[in-house]
Structure 1
Amino acid sequence: MNFLSRLRLFASSFRSSSSSSSSSSAPREGLLWQWLDRPRSWFRSAPPGAKGAVLFALTAPPVYFAFQLRRDRSVSAVHKQAIRDRVFLDFALGGRYIGRVLIGLYSDRVPLSVENFIQLCEGYRVQDKIIGYRNTPVHLVKRGINLTAGDVVHGTGAGKLSIYGPAFPDENFDMQFIQDGDVALMNTGPSTNNSQFIITFNALKPLNRNYVVIGTVLKGMRVIKKIEEEAGSKTGAPMQPVRIINCGLYRGLQDGPPFFANPDLLDRYEETRISEADFLALKPEEQEKLVEASKAAVGPKKVAK
């Protein structure tokens, strides 16, 4: 027996027990019964359009959320399949090294934008100078939103430079913000992309079709979260200095130090690291285990034995 049935039973007993009481209680009993029967009687007598509206209001939200969940999973799968290249960024916070971030890049979908990012990670020669992200600051850390880095001119966010010139057009908006750790080119309006980029702390879906998304963090989200927690502020001014102290195209073991993940010991934001010298000092069977773990973490095509 549901709650409404029990309430009707209570009202019935109340009416029986109060039949000998004063007539002033009758209107109250009538109001109680009217209240209990109102939803059912209204729905029975309501026009078809009103009934349809009620049913739609009750069923639409769960159907919508189920559709959104399925769509998000489909979009996530498309994004993973678009990753062709990987780069690494080594971060220092407050003068101390805090870890490496591995970023997967959507080279097939936004090749020009990705090429600009890769070249600046590697170091791009302009006449007699090398410009790039190495030893540049993270100049904005907005808690709950994103960090902004990559000003290779001034380090303040005022500099605008790319391998194509001061700025280059929006390539396309095919790739979307779907999760924390998404990487996109920073801009100040349409077709003003340059060296600056953002890494999100949350899934910033409202930014879709305003920023060119070029990749996402594959490993090292723990490092990004640490930057948010210890250097983030509401205004974006870093509470501690944050720098990219090293970066480049990630090629696997020969690039060292590689990433090795042990899912039995570490959560999704954690990873263990080993230098190339330490790796070569291991026994062959230990090397093999670490190579297999690295393949599982970053993909077999990017790891060399």
Structure 2
Amino acid sequence: MRRTPACYLGIMSIGMMLALALSIGGQQRSAASSARRAPGLYAIFETSMGRIVCRLFEQEAPKAVANFVGLAEGTKEHISPRTGRKIKKRFYDGLMFHRVIPNFIIQSGDPTATGRYTPGYTFEDEIRPNLKFDKPGRLAMANRGPNTNGSQFFITVAPAPHLNGKHTIFGEVVEGLDVARRIANVPRDATDKPIRPVLIQRVIIERVK
């Protein structure tokens, strides 16, 4: 019978302990970060350039929030750009920021990365006079005109008052605005698409009580 050297077993044990420690450490950091947040519903964007955390405005924009959460968690139907059929899957995971403009916005929510995709439905605006693009970090719905919201969204990295009254604001950045600004400043082509893709690795929806 072939035996495994004791030193190899020791290395394996150490490796497993290190992996476990890193996993526990990551969970503890995540829990500690959540503990510092005010009660509410949050969207955590794990991107290829870092983490962006947004508090969602459930009271002010319930339809936009429900739509975003449903797509993020894979409970809301949308049209597959490959088959044209309705499917349910975690929509935002793996998508790229297909439009980035320094001192303005980063935009995502289009699996075709063209800016032309729609999920097979639209819903009406939820414009609130108390929510304005008067500061950076606004999370809002992209659209093609009034009441044409779907799956695409953007995050502002600077005040943008010319957008007031035109887009539904359904959240705000509470952590990671520096990450959003770095994304906005990556090299881009003539259509404002990053030369090297910046990806949303996953979106986590988390409620803090």
- Distance verdict in 2 for CA 1:231–1:121, change over 3 Å: farther
Q: 1:166 offset after TM fit, Å? A: 1.7
Counterpart Cα distance in 2 of 1:240 and 1:229: 12
Q: Determine which structure has the larger helix proportion and give its number.
A: 1
Q: Which amino acid aligns with 1:192?
A: T
**2:27 matched residue in structure 1:** none
> Using a 3 Å threshold, how does the CA distance of structure 1 residues 144 and 128 change in structure 2: closer, same or farther?
closer
1:94-151 CA-to-partner distances (Å, cap 9, x unmatched) read xxxx211110111101101111111222223536541511111111001221111011
2:114 is the alignment partner of 1:156: yes
1:208 lines up with 2:164 in the alignment? yes
Cα deviation digits, residues 231-271 of structure 1 (max 9, x gap): 456742213211100112124xxxxxxxxxxxxxxxxxxxx
* TM-score between the two structures when normalised by the length of structure 1: 0.49
Q: Distance in 2 between matches of 1:128 and 1:210?
A: 29
Measured after TM superposition, the shift of residue 186 of structure 1 is 0.1
**Residue deviations 1:64-89 (CA, integer Å, cap 9, x gap):** xxxxxxxxxxxxxxxxxxx8311100
Identical-pair percentage? 30
Name 1:130's counterpart in structure 2. Answer: 89
Look up the SS of the partner of 1:136 in the other structure: coil
AA aligned opposite 1:104: R
Q: Report the Cα distance in structure 2 between the residues aligned to 1:137 and 1:145, rounded to whole angstroms.
A: 17
Question: Equivalent of 2:101, from 142, 149, 153?
Answer: 142
Question: How far apart, in 2, do the equivalents of 1:128 and 1:213 lie?
Answer: 27
Task: Name the aligned partner's letter for residue 134 of structure 1.
Answer: D
Q: Which residue of 2 aligns with 1:113?
A: 64
- The alpha-carbon distance between structure 1 residues 84 and 229, as it changes in their structure 2 partners (threshold 3 A), is same
Give the distance between the partners of 1:211 and 1:157, measured in 2 at CA: 16
1:166 aligns with 2:121: yes
Deviation at 1:197, TM superposition (A): 0.3
How many angstroms apart in 2 are the aligned matches of 1:156 and 1:247? Answer: 21
1:108 counterpart letter in structure 2: Q
Distance change in 2, residues 1:208/1:177 (3 Å) = same
Q: Aligned to 1:138, what secondary structure does the other structure show?
A: coil
Over 3 Å counting, the alpha-carbon distance change for 1:219 and 1:234 in structure 2 is: farther
Unaligned runs of 5+ in 1: 1-82, 93-97, 252-301
Distance 1:84 1:156, change over 3 A: same
CA deviation after TM superposition for structure 1 residue 230, in Å: 2.2
Q: How many residues align?
A: 163
Once the two structures are TM-superposed, the CA of residue 173 in structure 1 deviates from its matched residue by 3.3
Q: TM-score, normalized by length of structure 2?
A: 0.71
User: What is the match of residue 133 of structure 2?
Assistant: 177
1:228 Cα deviation from its structure 2 partner: 1.7
Query: Cα–Cα, structure 1 residues 235 and 157, in superposed 2: closer, same or farther, change >3 Å?
Result: closer
Instruction: Give structure 2 stretches of 5+ with no counterpart.
Output: 1-38, 78-85
**Aligned position for 2:195:** 239
Contact 2:43 2:55 in 1 (8 A): yes
Partners of 1:137 and 1:149 within 8 A in 2: yes
Cα distance in 1 between the residues matched to 2:138 and 2:87: 33
Contact 2:157 2:181 in 1 (8 A): yes
1:251-302 deviation line (CA, Å, top 9, x unaligned): 4xxxxxxxxxxxxxxxxxxxxxxxxxxxxxxxxxxxxxxxxxxxxxxxxxx2
Determine which of 200, 205, 208 is the counterpart of 1:249. 205
Q: Deviations over 1:1-58 (max 9, x none)?
A: xxxxxxxxxxxxxxxxxxxxxxxxxxxxxxxxxxxxxxxxxxxxxxxxxxxxxxxxxx
CA contact (8 A) 1:142 1:234 kept: no
Contact 1:85 1:105 in 2 (8 A): yes
Give 3-state SS (helix, strand or coil) of 1:119's partner: helix
Amino acid at match of 1:91: T
Preserved contact between residue 52 and residue 175 of structure 2 (Cα < 8 Å): yes
SS of aligned partner of 1:113: helix
- State the distance in 1 between where 2:65 and 2:87 align: 24
